[in-house]
Amino acid sequence: MQIFAKKLLIDQNGKATNFRLHTLQFPHMRALHFAWLSFMVAFMSWYAIPPIVYHIAEDLGISSVEIYDSNMAAVSITIIARLIVGPLCERFGPRRVMALILICGAIPCGMTGLITNGAGLIGLRCVIGILGATFVPCQFWTTQMFSPSVLGTANAMSAGWGNMGAGITYLIMPAIYDGILSHTTNSIAWRTTFIIPCCICLIVGAMDFFCATDTPHGDWLELRRQEQNKATTTTSSKSTTTTTSDVSTTEATDAATQQKTTTISIEKSALTDVEKSGGEKGVLSDVEETESLQGVKKNESAKDAFVAFVRVLVNPAVLIMIVHYACSFGTELAVDNVIGQVFREKFNLDNSTASYIGSVFGLLNIISRLSGGLFSDYLAKHFHIPGRIFAHCTCMTLEGVFLIGFSFGLINMHTAIILMIFFSFFVQAVCGSTFGIVPFIDPLNNGKIMGIVGAGGNLGGLIFNLMFREFAGDFETAFLCLGCIALGSGLLGNAVLRVQGKMIWHIFGGKHVPTNTL
């Protein structure tokens, strides 16, 4: 796989099969960079409050219970938002949805300085939480632009670098606050600080709308109109060629046939590589067709969309991915809220120092989530979908082990930092390996599934935030429980996970794709 390729390679569906990360080449690389940048600034604004919440609480007299409640509020609204945003992406395209969320979320972020009590903090963080829904258009956008052979890497790269916003906010928010505080009072300093992330969100949202496009073939709504016009034209053409004696019967048959054939364009998006000896491109093998991605339904009725939503919601593979993403991204959300507090209270550090140490947790996303996607794509080249499941299982097992280790390592700061780096890496790698699998569960309903699984991550964040609140400072027990849950669900879930008829056990049975087929 080429990350800094000299030339971007495109498959027969217009999707990229490699990367030119050093460019903003239109449309593929520009969409990738805008996807992760948008998610990053959204995450930065979403978690802008925790790094300086200690100063806010001191100024307004907010209790620790209210702070924990605000942490839960910040992730709870995102559950609903992600469920809604998935179908919106399928209808309006990822670019418009991304821009809309950024602009709508920037407004309450900029109004943070107006709160006066704990209830206001809880309500405000609940509204700001809609920014977390940017994850869905982020993943949907890259899915439209990149071939299945590199999709795990593309999704992990965009989401991982986006998640890095949590680490960046732990770096810049205390620095901005300290800079303003040197010229004014605490009350004015923290209120003014939130104008910065608000403005950044507005700027990036405008860039999304005006400087990028939804798919390799152009604007999403324009493609919808073209499909509708093509369907209408084809139906009319067939109707005029029927004989008078059987007009009614033929029209009914043609209408039914046309509805089936024009509702969706099937994209077979994985070609075998060109032979090194100079041979021509091969055709898709049977196994490759199984893992190909089909186009999303752009003209789906509301009734059909609801039926499809319910169907994917009860899909066993989707349910397992919900649990696994809850144990990875949900863990990340919960830890983002408390990691500064952990080091401040356990080792008696000042707020800025604890925040800077905590920023390492989020900043590791620059390589960790990407590593999960790369690992998934690498094993897929050798073992197809069972390889993706094996990669996912490996990452989840190590996540659980290092979370448990961290729970016993909080007696020494240096040990705690080292173990935090390791569990952070694998928590985020699991996020990447999860979305190396998700696009292949039901490609026709990718937007819905991404929204549902993404909401599962926020549900996990809500549950684990509640757990930290109930343990009331007993961080050792909280992290021990997190590790056991991740380890158990990873081993059990991956043992029974079936995607496109394939399970992890097929690796050992020899039912895999030869190395040169992807």
Name the β-bridge partners of 20.
4
What's residue 280's pLDDT? 34
Does residue 223 sit within a domain? no
DSSP label of 14: S
Determine if the pTM surpasses 0.75. Answer: yes
Across the range 239-257, mean pLDDT stands at 47
Give the residue carrying structure tokens 């569906």. 13
The per-residue DSSP string of 314-371 comes to T-HHHHHHHHHHHHHHHHHHHHHHHHHHHHHHHHT--HHHHHHHHHHHHHGGGTHHHH
The CATH number linked to 341 is 1.20.1250.20
Please give the torsion angle defined by the CA atoms of residues 512, 510, 325 and 89, in that order, rounded to the nearest 10 degrees: 20
Residue 513's region, left for phi above 0, alpha for psi from -120 to 50, else beta, is beta
For the purposes of burial, counting CB atoms within 10 Å of the CB of 454, is it exposed (0-12), middle (13-18) or buried (19 or more)? buried
> Hey, which residues does 502 pair with through a beta bridge?
499
Closest CA to 384 of 284, 267, 500: 500
DSSP 3-state of 215: strand
383 belongs to a structural domain: yes
Q: Is 229 exposed, middle or buried (0-12, 13-18, 19+ CB in 10 A)?
A: exposed
Which H/E stretch holds residue 169? helix 165-181
Q: Is residue 299 part of a domain?
A: no
Q: In this prediction, what percent of the chain has a pLDDT beyond 70? A: 85
Whether 129 and 77 have beta carbons less than 8 Å apart is answered as yes
**Token code pair at residue 264:** 């969706």
Quick: pLDDT tens for 18-59.
999 999 999 999 999 999 999 999 999 999 999 999 999 999
Which residues constitute the domain of residue 370?
A: 28-218+307-517
Position 388 in a domain: yes
Please indicate, yes or no, if residue 50 is contained in any of the structural domains.
yes
Spatial neighbors of 15 by CB under 8 A, at least 6 apart, are 28, 144, 145, 146, 147, 216, 267, 269
Separation CA 57–CA 35 (nearest Å)? 34
Rounded distance between C-alpha atoms, residue 515 and residue 518, angstroms: 7
pLDDT digits (tens, 9 = 90+) for 306-325: 899 999 999 999 999 999 99
Using DSSP, state whether 47 is helix, strand or coil: coil
User: 238 falls in which pLDDT band (50, 70, 90)?
Assistant: low
> Residue 515 half-sphere exposure, CB side, CA atoms within 13 Å?
1
User: What are the percentages of helix, strand and coil residues in the chain, rounded to 5?
Assistant: 75, 0, 20
DSSP element (H, E) containing 480: helix 475-496
Is the pLDDT at 186 greater than 60, yes or no? yes
The pLDDT confidence band at residue 263, using thresholds 50, 70 and 90, is very low
- More confident: 246 or 104: 104
Q: Is residue 296 part of a domain?
A: no
Total of domains in the chain:
1
How deeply is 249 buried, as exposed, middle or buried, from its count of CB atoms within 10 A (0-12, 13-18, 19+)? Answer: exposed
15 falls within a domain: no
Which phi and psi (to 5°) does residue 218 adopt?
125, -160
Q: With contact defined as beta carbons under 8 Å apart, do 31 and 209 qualify? A: no
Q: Give, in degrees to the nearest 5, the angle at Cα 167 between 164 and 172.
A: 120
Structural domain contains residue 228: no
Q: What value does the mean pLDDT take over residues 466-484?
A: 94
Peptide bond into 27 cis (omega under 30): yes
